[in-house]
Chain A
Amino acid sequence: MSFFIASKRLGKIGDPYTPKDGINIDALLAGGFIVRAEVSTTEEEKPAKTKPKKASKE
């Protein structure tokens, strides 16, 4: 689980936050001081495969 700083009271906003031993993470999250790093669970859409059309025989 990784976090980002969301308040200048904790450090530079946007920087990753690594808690030291003894830090109450739940309190920091509830107080809005840090946010969880979003992890995408959806697979990115692949571009549609398109075959080049063959020239029609006449």
Chain B
Amino acid sequence: MPTSTYLSSPVVTVNAVDLSDQCTGATVNINYDQLEATAFGDTSRKYVSGLGSHSVTLDFYASFAATETWATLKGLVGTSTNVIVKPTSAADSATNPGLTFTGTFLAALPIVNSLGALGTISVTFNGGVYTSDES
């Protein structure tokens, strides 16, 4: 049984710009390289953490109006910036951590337009330093 409601009303900021009302999905991957550390005498494999290799995928509506999705993202392609995903708009806390990616890289800005549907932009930020702001 779930013990908390997760991402029911998340806050998503990209380059300090709050794009929550244009965002429909946020997938956060916190990964570390798994380095083999097993040695002679061990009876089971052992691993240690290597480099962090994180990513954040965000799904937006493709709004081209002033200070909306396009205006926020167009200048970020090919550069690094900060992305924050929080479960709710409440202050940072242990139960509402601000998942922060500092210096994460945006390589591509794909725009999807389909007949009879709202345009969308799905972007993936890769790398950067991950921290969980809980205070």
Contacts and interface: CB of A to CB of B under 8 A. Distances in A.
Contacts, number: 58
Contacts of B72: 9, 27, 31, 33
Contacts of B80: 22, 24
Q: Which 9 A-B pairs have the closest CB atoms?
A: A27-B75, A31-B71, A7-B67, A22-B82, A22-B102, A30-B75, A24-B81, A9-B17, A9-B18
B82 A32 contact: no
B18 A10 contact: yes
B39 interface: no
Interface string A1-43: 0000011011000000001111110111011110000000000
Interface of B: 15-19, 66-67, 71-72, 74-76, 79-82, 102-103
A27 to B, nearest CB: 3
A27 B67 contact: no
15 contacts: A9-B18, A9-B67, A22-B80, A22-B103, A23-B16, A23-B81, A23-B82, A24-B79, A27-B74, A27-B81, A28-B17, A28-B75, A30-B74, A32-B66, A32-B67
State the main secondary structure of chain B at its contact with A: mixed
Interface of A: 6-7, 9-10, 19-24, 26-28, 30-33
Contact of A22 (B17, B71, B74, B81): B81
Contact of A24 (B15, B18, B66, B67): B15
Given A10-B17, A23-B81, A27-B81, A32 B71 contact: yes
Contacts of B79: 24, 27
Given A10-B18, A33-B67, A24 B75 contact: yes
B73 to A, nearest CB: 8
